[in-house]
Amino acid sequence: MAAKAKARTLIVRLISTAQTGFFYTTQRLRQGPKLSAVKYDPVVKRRVLFVESKKTKK
C-alpha cells in the first residue's frame, strides 16, 4: 500500500496578540511562510496583530 498524500493546504488559526482569546480560521499553503495579519478584534474593538498557530482538533 502506498502512503496517503499530504494535503497541499493547512488549516490554521490566527490568534489575537491582544490575548483576548479571539481567533480567525484560515487556510494557507503547506510550503508557504507562517501567516500574520492585522485584523479586527471585536473583544477590544480595535485592529490588532494576529499570528498563526496550528488548528487544534476538538
**pLDDT of 58 over the 70 cut:** no
Q: What is the pLDDT of residues 31-48, one digit of tens each?
A: 889 999 999 999 999 999
This prediction's pTM = 0.80
Q: What residue spans define the domains of the chain?
A: 9-53
Angle CA(14)–CA(17)–CA(20) in degrees, nearest 5?
90
Which residues, at least 6 apart from 27, have a Cβ–Cβ distance to it below 8 Å?
Answer: 9, 10, 11, 12
- In this structure, whether the domain defined by 9-53 belongs to CATH 3.40.250.10 is answered with no
What pLDDT is recorded for position 43? Answer: 95
